[in-house]
Amino acid sequence: MTIRTILVSLDGSESSPATLNTAFGIAKRFGIHVDVLHVRPDSLAGVPAIGEGMSGSMADRISVKTERQAVERAQRAHVLFDETCQALGVSVVSEDTEPDGLSASWIERVGRKHMVMKRLGRVHDLIVLGQPSNPKAMTESLTVNALFETGRPVLVVPPKVADRIGRRIAVAWNGSAECARALGGATNFFTGADTVVILTAHGDETPVSVVPELETYLTHHGIKAETRIFANLGRRHLDGPTLLAECAESGADMLVLGGTQIGPLKDLMLGGNTRHVLEAAKIPLLIGH
């Protein structure tokens, strides 16, 4: 599917500028629209119930403080949005305006960020999010929520990133459905790449025989790819550090890969490979599930 709309989450944190600039860089390249989303938490939802050890006045103070912090964070995010749009020459339109070319809208909601992301993410072609900052809470992060709940490709942006990404794109390929979904989200980027590199490791479950099929697919899209078979795994599974090391060796500035999950969705657990790559990657990751 051709990318026409991007949803980017802006939380006002230190990593927000890199996330926003990357989203706008993509939008500028394709001449498309960006919805910039900031979700403010409901100040009452975070207040403990009144009862033992919690008086009404204490609950009021907590609610007021929480609301003040939420407003300040939203203001920082909105200022960043306005400044970035002005610096890059991006037209700002209301969210109910039919976009025409490069443009952006500011969307602010109050509620549970995971629920808002799930609903809005499903009606955008690409979701851009910052790299999760707390490894211990990885499975509860908005990034993981978007990956497994929206059905859309997710671009995960580290805190420091090059001004232009996608010149040399690496595709981690094992022929799985997750990799295929990531590939579908990446086809828009391939035409602007100088090089597409297929990274694969031979193993009992991922034979290199799947690579020529991908090479043929890319050829149909007018893309000549180079292939790097970097390991012979046997019965072992490919680990995240090995994949990232090979990605760095290939000189890639963007990695396309499938995201895996262990266990039922309600008890979400990331596959170890996906978890490590999310934690440690120094380049943007385009992930599909």
pLDDT in tens, 11-30: 877 789 999 999 999 999 99
- pTM value? 0.88
- Specify whether 59 is located in the same domain as 128: yes
Distance, in Å, from the CA atom of 170 to the CA atom of 228, rounded to the nearest integer, reads: 10
**What is the mean predicted confidence (pLDDT) over 46-55?**
52
Distance, in Å, from the CA atom of 94 to the CA atom of 56, rounded to the nearest integer, reads: 39
User: 196 with 223: CB under 8 angstroms?
Assistant: yes
Instruction: Give one DSSP letter per residue of 200-224, joined into a string.
Output: EEEESSS-GGGHHHHHHHHHHTT--
| Residue 26 domain-assigned (yes or no) | yes
- Specify whether 148 is located in the same domain as 192: no
| Residue 29 domain-assigned (yes or no) | yes
Q: Please give the C-alpha separations between residue 25 and each of 8, 30, 42, 102, 190, in angstroms, as whole numbers.
A: 12, 9, 32, 10, 15
- Specify whether 35 is located in the same domain as 121: yes
| Residue 53 domain-assigned (yes or no) | yes
State the virtual CA torsion across 31, 125, 238, 246 in degrees, nearest 10.
Answer: 0
User: What is the domain extent for residue 64?
Assistant: 5-157
Domain-ending residue, one of 157, 183, 214: 157
17: left (phi over 0), alpha (psi -120 to 50) or beta: alpha
CATH number for 47: 3.40.50.620
- Specify whether 89 is located in the same domain as 219: no
- Specify whether 67 is located in the same domain as 184: no
Residue 77: pLDDT over 80? yes
**pLDDT value at residue 123:** 96
Quote the crossing angle between the two packed helices 16-30 and 56-88, to the nearest 10°. 40
Distance, in Å, from the CA atom of 270 to the CA atom of 267, rounded to the nearest integer, reads: 10
Domain-ending residue, one of 123, 157, 191: 157
Distance, in Å, from the CA atom of 206 to the CA atom of 214, rounded to the nearest integer, reads: 13
- Specify whether 102 is located in the same domain as 180: no
Question: Which residues on adjacent β-strands are paired with residue 157?
Answer: 130
H-assigned helices in 37-172: 56-88, 113-121, 142-149
| Residue 162 domain-assigned (yes or no) | no
| Residue 183 domain-assigned (yes or no) | yes
> Residue by residue, what is the 3-state secondary structure of 26-44?
HHHHHCCEEEEEEEECCCC
User: 3 with 30: CB under 8 angstroms?
Assistant: yes
pLDDT band at 208 (very low <50, low <70, confident <90, very high): confident
- Specify whether 135 is located in the same domain as 13: yes
- Specify whether 195 is located in the same domain as 238: yes
Distance, in Å, from the CA atom of 76 to the CA atom of 92, rounded to the nearest integer, reads: 17
**What is the mean predicted confidence (pLDDT) over 108-114?**
93
Distance, in Å, from the CA atom of 154 to the CA atom of 285, rounded to the nearest integer, reads: 8
Distance, in Å, from the CA atom of 276 to the CA atom of 270, rounded to the nearest integer, reads: 9
| Mean pLDDT, all residues of the chain | 85
Q: Locate 136 and state its tokens.
A: 């211990």
Task: Give the count of domains, the chain.
Answer: 2
| Residue 177 domain-assigned (yes or no) | yes
- Specify whether 182 is located in the same domain as 128: no
- Specify whether 264 is located in the same domain as 227: yes
The residue to which tokens 């001449």 are assigned:
31
**pLDDT value at residue 265:** 41
- Specify whether 65 is located in the same domain as 200: no
pLDDT digits (tens, 9 = 90+) for 160-186: 988 889 999 999 998 888 899 999 999
Domain-ending residue, one of 125, 157, 189: 157
Q: Euclidean distance between the first and final Cα of the chain, in Å?
A: 16
- Specify whether 134 is located in the same domain as 172: no
Distance, in Å, from the CA atom of 158 to the CA atom of 210, rounded to the nearest integer, reads: 30
| Residue 277 domain-assigned (yes or no) | yes
Q: Please give the C-alpha separations between residue 164 and each of 5, 18, 225, in angstroms, as whole numbers.
A: 19, 11, 20
Between 79 and 13, residue with greater pLDDT: 79
| Residue 202 domain-assigned (yes or no) | yes
The residue to which tokens 């709940």 are assigned:
149
